[in-house]
Amino acid sequence: MARHLPQDPRRRRLALGLGLGAALASAALAPGAAAAAAASASAKACAADPAWAAALRRELDAMARDLTRTLVPWQVAGRSFVPESYGLQAGQPATAAIQRAVDACAAAGGGVVRLARGDYTSGTIDLRSGVMLEIAEGARLLASTDLRDYPERRARRPTVQDSNMGMNQSLIFAEGCERVGIRGGGTIEGRGTPDNFPGEETTGATPGRPFMIRMLDCRQVHVNGVRMRDSPCWMQNYLNCEDLIIDGIHVENQANHNNDGIDIDGCRRVIVRNCFISAEDDALCFKGASQRPTAQVLVEHCRLYSTCNAIKFGTDSQGDFRNVLVRHVELGGPSAAMRAMKRRKADGGISWETVDGGTVERVRVHDVHVVRSESPLFLRLGDRGRVRPEQARPPAGRMRQLVFERITGADNGVRGSFFIGLPERPIEDVLLRDVDIPMDAARVPAIKPADIPQARAEYPDPHMFAPVMPAWGLWTRDVRGLVLARVRFASPGGDARPMLLGDPAPCVASS
């Protein structure tokens, strides 16, 4: 790669404004890049920190301080109950004994149901208010491999999740509970391989493959310290919950299709911290199928790895997603040392999507390292409009006031990041500041921008258009108010694409 700034004044201003220097020099000379550079350079200069972004930073930092101070684990009563005292027989399924211990604990006013003596094979366990299920270090809760051990638990308030996925079976279930949780240094083992729970990869119904944890309409939920492995489907789903803390868990969900790590749907006042997640499907996924807002969320000090999307909002996006802070996280695809059902890079690193009428706004991501991802950053505003069959189709949603700051990367793929809205409903007000993400070089031709369809109603994922997008760094369409300040997508050279390409062109910060 050349080590000099472009001589053309317009390209030189663009290189300096982006803080790219030599990294942009050869890109600006690549086929098609000169027009992109000229278009970007002709855009008006802008401040590196727009007023809306500065205000958002202050407000989300204040939110994080308030959540850290006020959202604390509920006080568990000192009473302890063990299934061995409720009829558990050696070598027999533990479902009934564990449930009797849970019911006795709840009737006594709450406490701990403790699994501490080796392996416990179980079907569905219904948690109750005031009950903390503890799986002690060295103990394992083994999911039964007999589907008959998972009686259906249909939601009292049906949501889009019910009409789309139709999954009403789980190992651990709670609905309408207060003060409920799971803790301990032991393991929940799903045994969810296709041999035990066959099924197809799907974006719809997943019959015959239960979730491990499903909590609906609960308050004061605390999940701490436990290890989870190999669900037949999603590992855990929290829907319309308030005061949710997920802290210090270790999740490996690499056994079957649709193996998400954590799915948080329409929850308020949420902390996810100190977690390790490796998932075949999305690692940490926020959703809006509950048709309730997801708001006041703090994600910090996590490692999130996926062969789909490492962190995501969507695709179900009927509810809103706002006031979210993600910080001090490494995310992307599994390393060679990690177990993986599919050996590939993450499809997307950070993927914010709204296609079902919801609003995504006031989201800040900072101090994040993106590794082994084909599209480190992905924004999509579409118009699928999926709701329950009896509901009217909503108009397209909104996506605005998104900040990415101090984002770095390593060992990423060739596709490139991209943001794409709709002509009549563009993505609005996005700031990239101090971004430095290396990308690999593509050796095959990229799709041309004119050949990329609107695809308004298609399932949104970073692979939806092509394996090689029009820019190696960032391509945008129908994004208004995009500000780039000290942004760099490095390439080893030999890539015919420009680093940046946008319609309309982004605003390049002057400092």
Q: Decide if pLDDT at 194 tops 70.
A: yes
Residue 31 pLDDT grade (very low, low, confident, very high; cuts 50, 70, 90)? very low
**Residues 428 and 399: beta-carbon distance below 8 Å:** yes
**Residues 260 and 287: beta-carbon distance below 8 Å:** no
Residue 154 pLDDT grade (very low, low, confident, very high; cuts 50, 70, 90)? very high
Q: Which of 31-40, 42-51, 160-169, 308-317 has the highest mean pLDDT?
A: 308-317
> Which comes out higher in pLDDT, residue 267 or 32?
267
Other CB atoms within 10 Å distance of the CB of residue 150: 22
Residue 40 pLDDT grade (very low, low, confident, very high; cuts 50, 70, 90)? very low
Long-range contacts of 2-10 (CB under 8 A, 24+ apart): 2/26, 2/29, 6/37, 8/34, 8/37, 10/37, 10/38, 10/41, 10/42
Per-chain mean pLDDT for the chain:
91
Residue 45 pLDDT grade (very low, low, confident, very high; cuts 50, 70, 90)? confident
Residue 164 pLDDT grade (very low, low, confident, very high; cuts 50, 70, 90)? confident
Angstrom CA distances, 276 to 23, 191, 280, 284, stand at 34, 19, 14, 10
Domain limits, the chain: 51-195+207-508
**Hey, is 61 helix, strand or coil?**
helix
- Predicted confidence at residue 411, as pLDDT, reads 97
State the virtual CA torsion across 453, 454, 459, 460 in degrees, nearest 10: 100
- Predicted confidence at residue 480, as pLDDT, reads 97
Give the torsion sign (CA, 123, 124, 127, 128).
negative
**Residues 241 and 223: beta-carbon distance below 8 Å:** no
The C-alpha atoms of residue 41 and residue 415 are separated, in whole angstroms, by: 24
pLDDT digits (tens, 9 = 90+) for 368-394: 999 999 999 999 999 999 999 999 999
Q: Decide if pLDDT at 280 tops 80.
A: yes
pTM comes to 0.92
- Predicted confidence at residue 14, as pLDDT, reads 37
**Hey, is 413 helix, strand or coil?**
coil
- Predicted confidence at residue 469, as pLDDT, reads 98
Residue 44 pLDDT grade (very low, low, confident, very high; cuts 50, 70, 90)? low
Per-position b or e across 360-372, b if 16+ CB within 10 A of its CB = bbbbbbbebbbbb
The C-alpha atoms of residue 349 and residue 169 are separated, in whole angstroms, by: 30
Q: Decide if pLDDT at 35 tops 50.
A: no
**How far, in whole angstroms, is CA 374 from its chain's centroid?**
16
- Predicted confidence at residue 166, as pLDDT, reads 81
- Predicted confidence at residue 509, as pLDDT, reads 87
pLDDT digits (tens, 9 = 90+) for 1-12: 333 333 333 333
Q: Decide if pLDDT at 15 tops 90.
A: no
The C-alpha atoms of residue 221 and residue 82 are separated, in whole angstroms, by: 21
Terminal C-alpha separation, the chain: 24
**Region 90-112: what's the mean pLDDT?**
97
pLDDT digits (tens, 9 = 90+) for 206-250: 889 999 999 999 999 999 999 999 999 999 999 999 999 999 999
- Predicted confidence at residue 48, as pLDDT, reads 87
Q: Decide if pLDDT at 158 tops 70.
A: yes
Start-end of H helices in 147-302? 160-164
> Which comes out higher in pLDDT, residue 93 or 200?
93
List phi, psi (to 5°) of 490.
-75, 150
Give the closest residue to 274 by CA, choosing from 295, 306, 243, 251. Answer: 251
What does the H/E/C string look like for 69-101?
HHCCCCCCCCCEECHHHHCCCCCCCCHHHHHHH
Query: In 372-468, where do the E strands start and end?
Result: 373-381, 398-410, 417-420, 427-436
pLDDT more than 70, % of the chain: 91
- Predicted confidence at residue 493, as pLDDT, reads 87
Q: Decide if pLDDT at 23 tops 80.
A: no
Range with lowest mean pLDDT among 103-112, 155-164, 367-376, 423-432:
155-164
pLDDT digits (tens, 9 = 90+) for 128-151: 999 999 999 999 999 999 999 999
- Predicted confidence at residue 511, as pLDDT, reads 65
Does 51-195+207-508 carry CATH code 2.160.20.10?
Answer: yes
The C-alpha atoms of residue 508 and residue 511 are separated, in whole angstroms, by: 9
